């Protein structure tokens, strides 16, 4: 199989680099400065094993590859807000022997949240969900660090919306040979919703910096509690803390890497890179959406979604709002929020 990594940033670059190191055929897809750097200088992957440079085929779209191969595997690793553009570009791409990528090729959505695979299933017939536990950092164009050891990451994967098949197992075997554990599960969304709850903290970190101190930890707990209440109201199951702890065990230990300090998670990195967009609509915004559908107020996630988008749009520095100010805004938002019963009564009247 040839792996086409659509979005060779932090996670995509780490996965693509590890697959290439294990001898697999890999094509990187990127845009802008990242595309130019990967094309001209290769992918420099920094891990606890040391830095390596991988000279891999790099394109900025399907046209540069011509016809795709029948054995190609597409890995969608762009941020969710960039999914539609990527799917629109790659779905119609012709495949040798007839048909299009959307009709014939498997698409693995290695993304935070749950919306990317929903968008993909509108276009692609064979969609696979991936729950990404892989600490990676976009250091600069062409350079990605992945600080985990002895494993680089753990990617639970399975058919979306449910099930497993031989393709999932074959991809899992290739990843396992590449220092990335990949359990194949029939209920991949259970793991993704558990990760979604953890990712609700991304906006706190992006706006207010490292979550520390009693007030910051208490805010994080309240934001997560909103998410748990929404998933309960929606009847959406998710992997328990015990399951996640057992799955991770001591398989991924972070090691400081010279010249590639890990400043923060994916949302923090989006602000640091100044991309102008952030994934909060598909993390905190997913909780807000489900809350509105099921009559559960989500004032804290609403606030974080808005603030994160403001920071991205206005190119404000990551973590630049004092945590005390964020905590104050959260208290005001919670105090002003209607309770679910009041909402229901207003609707009935």
Q: Give tens-digit pLDDT for 6-62.
A: 999 999 999 999 999 999 999 999 999 999 999 999 999 999 999 999 999 999 999
DSSP characters for 244-290? HHHHHTTSEEE---TT------HHHHHHHHT-S--GGGGTHHHHHHH
Residue from 262, 265, 261 nearest 203 by CA: 265
Spell out a b/e string for 126-149, using b for 16 or more CB atoms within 10 Å of the CB, else e: bbbbbbbbbbbbbbebbbbbbbbe
- Pairing between β-strand 126-133 and β-strand 106-110 as defined by DSSP bridges: parallel
User: Any residues with CB less than 8 A from the CB of 36 and at least 6 apart, and which?
Assistant: 141
Question: What share of the chain in percent tops pLDDT 70?
Answer: 96
Left, alpha or beta for 185 (phi > 0: left; psi -120 to 50: alpha)? beta
For the residues 173-189, what does the mean pLDDT come to?
A: 98
For the residues 118-146, what does the mean pLDDT come to?
A: 97
Task: Identify whether 161 is preceded by a cis peptide bond (ω within 30 of 0).
Answer: yes
What's the confidence (pLDDT) of residue 241?
95
For the residues 239-256, what does the mean pLDDT come to?
A: 94
For the residues 266-290, what does the mean pLDDT come to?
A: 95
pTM of the model: 0.93
What's the confidence (pLDDT) of residue 342?
46
Question: What share of the chain in percent tops pLDDT 90?
Answer: 91
Residue 68 is given by DSSP the state: B
212 confidence band (pLDDT: 50, 70, 90): confident
Task: Identify whether 129 is preceded by a cis peptide bond (ω within 30 of 0).
Answer: no
């Amino acid at each position: 199989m040839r792996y086409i990594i659509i979005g060779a940033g932090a996670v995509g670059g780490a996965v693509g680099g590890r697959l290439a190191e294990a001898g697999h055929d890999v094509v990187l897809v990127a845009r802008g400065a990242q595309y130019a750097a990967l094309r001209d200088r290769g992918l420099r992957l920094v891990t606890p094993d040391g830095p390596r440079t991988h000279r891999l085929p790099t394109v900025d779209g399907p046209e540069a590859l011509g016809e795709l191969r029948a054995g190609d595997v597409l890995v969608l690793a762009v941020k969710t807000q960039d999914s539609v553009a990527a799917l629109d570009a790659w779905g119609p791409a012709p495949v040798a022997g007839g048909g299009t990528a959307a009709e014939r090729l498997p698409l693995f959505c290695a993304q935070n949240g749950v919306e990317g695979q929903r968008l993909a299933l509108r276009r692609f017939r064979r969609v696979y969900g991936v729950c990404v536990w892989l600490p990676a950092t976009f250091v600069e164009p062409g350079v990605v660090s992945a600080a985990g050891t002895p494993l680089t990451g753990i990617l639970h994967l399975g058919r979306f919306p449910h099930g497993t098949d031989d393709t999932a197992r074959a991809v899992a075997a290739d990843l396992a040979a590449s220092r990335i554990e990949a359990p194949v599960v029939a209920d991949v969304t259970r793991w993704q919703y558990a990760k979604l709850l953890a990712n609700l903290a991304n906006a706190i970190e992006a706006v207010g910096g490292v979550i520390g101190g009693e007030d910051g930890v208490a805010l994080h707990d309240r934001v997560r509690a909103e998410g748990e209440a929404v998933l309960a109201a929606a009847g959406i199951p998710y992997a328990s803390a015990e399951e996640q702890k057992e799955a991770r065990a001591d398989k991924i230990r972070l090691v400081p890497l010279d010249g590639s300090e890990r400043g923060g998670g994916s949302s923090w990195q989006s602000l640091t890179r100044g991309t102008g967009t952030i994934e909060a609509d598909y993390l905190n915004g997913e909780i807000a959406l489900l809350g509105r559908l099921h009559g559960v107020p989500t004032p804290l996630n609403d606030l974080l979604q808005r603030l994160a988008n403001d920071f991205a749009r206005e190119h404000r520095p990551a973590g630049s709002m004092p945590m005390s100010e964020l905590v104050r805004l959260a208290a005001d938002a919670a105090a002003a929020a209607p309770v679910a019963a009041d909402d229901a009564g207003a609707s009935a009247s």
